[in-house]
Amino acid sequence: MTTMPSSLGVVGYWLFGRTEHRVRAREHLSVVASLGRIPLGSADLRRRLEIAAWRRDEGGARFGSLFIYSPLAFVVWLPLIGVIIFGGARLATFLTALMFTFCTMVLWRTLLHRVLFARMLVPLVALVAAFGWWAAYNSESGLVISPAIARFSALLLVFGSLHGVIWFYRRWRRAAREQAHAYDALAIAAVHVVDAIHGERLLWRHSRKVRRWCEKLENLAVEATACLALKERVDPLDTGLRRELRDEALRVAEAIRLHKRALVTASCVEDVERVIESLIYGIDALVCDDRAALLVNAPDLPSRTSRLRAMVTRLIPGAVLIGIAAALPLIPGIPPTAETSARWVLLLVGASSILSSSPDTAGHVRDVLGKLLLR
C-alpha cells in the first residue's frame, strides 16, 4: 500500500487504507476456512497452500481492492467528475464510449470460455461501445458550464491520471511477482472450486448445482490456460518455447474440462468425490511446482492443421455476415429506413456466429434479408 508522505495522505490512509487491509485479511480467512473444509489428506499440503495463499498474485482483483479502498482512486474520479459536471453531453458520451472500449479489450479472456453468457459478453460490450462512439459523434454539445475546465479534466484523465494508474499497476504487479508464482493463484482458485463442489456434493441430483459446478470448472480451466502459459517469464522472441508452454497449458485446461463430463453423468456421491480427489491431486502438483504431474493425464491437442481448419470454418460465416452488413447500401430492394437496423442485426449475428461457431449462419442471412425484402 503506497501512501503520500503528507497529512492529506495520512488522512486518506486512515479513511481508506485500513479498509483495504481488512479486505485482504478477510480474503485470507476465507482461504483458511476452505482449507479446513476440504479433504486434503495431508498436513504438509495444507501448509503449502497456506503459504501459497500468502504469496499469491491476484492481479486485477487484488489491485482493484487496493484501488477502491485507497486514495489512489481519486486521481481518476476527480477528473471524471470534472468532465461530467462542467462538460456537455458529447464529452460525457465520448468518455463512456472510451470506457466501454477499454472494457472490450479487458474482457478478451471471456472468449476462451465455453459458456454461452461469457462468449456473448464481448460482442455485447463491443456493440455498446460502438453505439457510444456513434452517439458521441452525432450528439449535440448540450449544457456546458465551463468548457475550459471540462477539457482540462478530460486531458488530465486521459493523458495524466490513466497513465499514472497503469504505471502504478505495472509496478505493483512486478513487485508481487518477485515473491509469487503463477501456480499460487491457480492453486488457490482450485481450492475454492473444490470447496464449492465438496460442500454441495450431496446435491448431485440437482441440475442447477451441477451446472454451477461445471461453470466453476470452466473458469478454472480458463485460469489454467492463462497461468500455466507463463508468458511473462519467457522472452517474446522465443516463440518456440512460448508455443510449447501454451500448448501444455491448453492440455491441462482440457484435463480440467474432462471433469465436467464426470459431474454431469454422475450417478452417486462417490462419482463426485472421485472428481474432488482428482482436483486435489492437481492442487498438490501445483504447490509442488510439478508441471509433469499435471500433464500425465492431460489429453493431446489436435494438430495445428486441424485447429487452423476449425478456425477458418468458424470465421468465414461470421465474416460473410459482417461483409453483408457493410454492403447493405449496394443491395437493391432494401428500404432506407430499415438499413440501419439491419446493419446492426447482421453485425451482432455475425459476431455471435464467430464466437459460437453456429452452423445455421446461412439461415440467419436468409431470415434477416427475407424480412427486409418483404417490407
Q: What is the DSSP string of 225-280?
A: HHHTT-GGGS-TT-HHHHHHHHHHHHHHHHHHHHHHHHHHT--SHHHHHHHHHHHH
Say what the pLDDT of residue 175 is.
Answer: 63
Low-confidence ranges of the chain (pLDDT < 70): 1-28, 57-71, 140-144, 172-180, 303-304, 306-307, 310, 337, 352-353, 355-375
Say what the pLDDT of residue 68 is.
Answer: 66
Helix or strand or coil: residue 358?
Answer: coil
Helix or strand or coil: residue 204?
Answer: coil
Say what the pLDDT of residue 11 is.
Answer: 54
- The pTM for the full model equals 0.72
- Pairwise CA distance, residues 166 & 60, whole Å: 11
**C-beta separation of 157 from 75 below 8 A:** no
**Cell 491437442 found at:** 301
Say what the pLDDT of residue 179 is.
Answer: 62
